[in-house]
Amino acid sequence: MPGSVSFSHEDARRYYDWFGAKQDTQGFYENAALGALIENGAFCDAQAVLEIGCGTGKFAARLLSDHLPASARYVGLDISGTMVALAKERLEPWADRAEIHRSDGGFDLPAFGMSFDRVVFTYVFDLLSVEDISKALSATHSVLRTGGWLCSAGLTRGTGGLSSITSAAWTWVHGIKPSLVGGCRPLALTDFLDKSRWRVVHREVVVSATVPSEVLVAEAL
C-alpha cells in the first residue's frame, strides 16, 4: 500500500534541506509532466495561485514569467528552510506579488489566504503519508474558490513496459529506505479524490526517461 512506509515531516525537512538546488536535476523526468500541467492548468485565467512544496521555485518562476497574468498573486510554501531561501532568491524579480513562507509541514492553508484559483502540488503528494494526503486535499478544497482547480503532477504507477518496471523498482527501493528516493513513491492521486467534492478536468500519465508521472487537474465542487 503506498504510504505504508513513513517519511515524517522531520525526515522531509532534513532531506530537502540537504538536497536543496539538486532538486532541479530531476527535470529529466519532471519537465514533460510539468509541461503537461501547464498546458492543461489554464494558468492564464488565474489571479491567485498557492503552491505547496514549491522547492527551488522553478515551477513558480515559469508560471510568473510566461503564464500568469501580470496582476496575479503567487504564494509558495515549503517545509525546508533551504528551499524557502532558494525560492525567495529565484522569485526576487516578482517580489511585489510573489511570497514564500516556511511551512511547519501541516496544512493550515487558510492562514495564507482564501479563494485561490489554483492550488499546485508538483512531486509532493507522492511523499506525503496517506493521512497527510487526505488532510492536504481537504485543506486545498477549503482554500479554492468554488470552481477553482487543484493542479498536481507526481510519481505514479507505470502504464506497461519499462514504465511499469521503473515504478515497481522505485516502490521497492522506497519500501527499503524512503530517503533513497527523497521519500517519494508512485501513487494515483485520483484514488484519493472524493468524487462528491472534486471533478476531474484532466488526467494523464506522462512517461519520461521511463519514469511515469500522473498529471491531474481537478475542480473543487
Interaction site with ligand SAM (CB under 6 A): 9, 12, 16, 23, 30, 52-55, 58-59, 77-80, 83, 103, 105, 122-124, 127, 182, 184
Residue 32: all three cell numbers together: 514533460
37 vs 218, beta carbon nearer ligand SAM: 37
Residue 118 backbone phi and psi in degrees, to 5: -140, 140
Nearer to ligand SAM, 61 or 144 (CB): 61
> CB-wise, 163 or 213, nearer to ligand SAM?
213
Smallest distance, ligand SAM to C-beta of residue 23, A = 5
What is the full DSSP assignment across the chain? Answer: -TT-S---HHHHHHHHHHHGGGGGGGHHHHHHHHHHHHHHS-GGG-SEEEEES-TTSHHHHHIIIIIS-TT-EEEEEES-HHHHHHHHHHTGGGTTTEEEEE--SS--GGGG-S-EEEEEEES-GGGS-HHHHHHHHHHHHHHEEEEEEEEEEEE----SHHHHHHHHHHHHHHHH-GGGGTT-----GGGG--TTTEEEEEEEEEEETTEEEEEEEEEE-
Nearer to ligand SAM, 78 or 214 (CB): 78
Judged by beta carbon, residue 85 or residue 199, the one nearer ligand SAM is 85
**Nearer to ligand SAM (CB atom), residue 55 or residue 186:** 55
- Is the distance from CB of 110 to CB of 142 less than 8 angstroms? yes
* Smallest distance from ligand SAM to CB 196, Å: 26
Q: How far is the CB of 184 from ligand SAM (least distance, A)?
A: 6
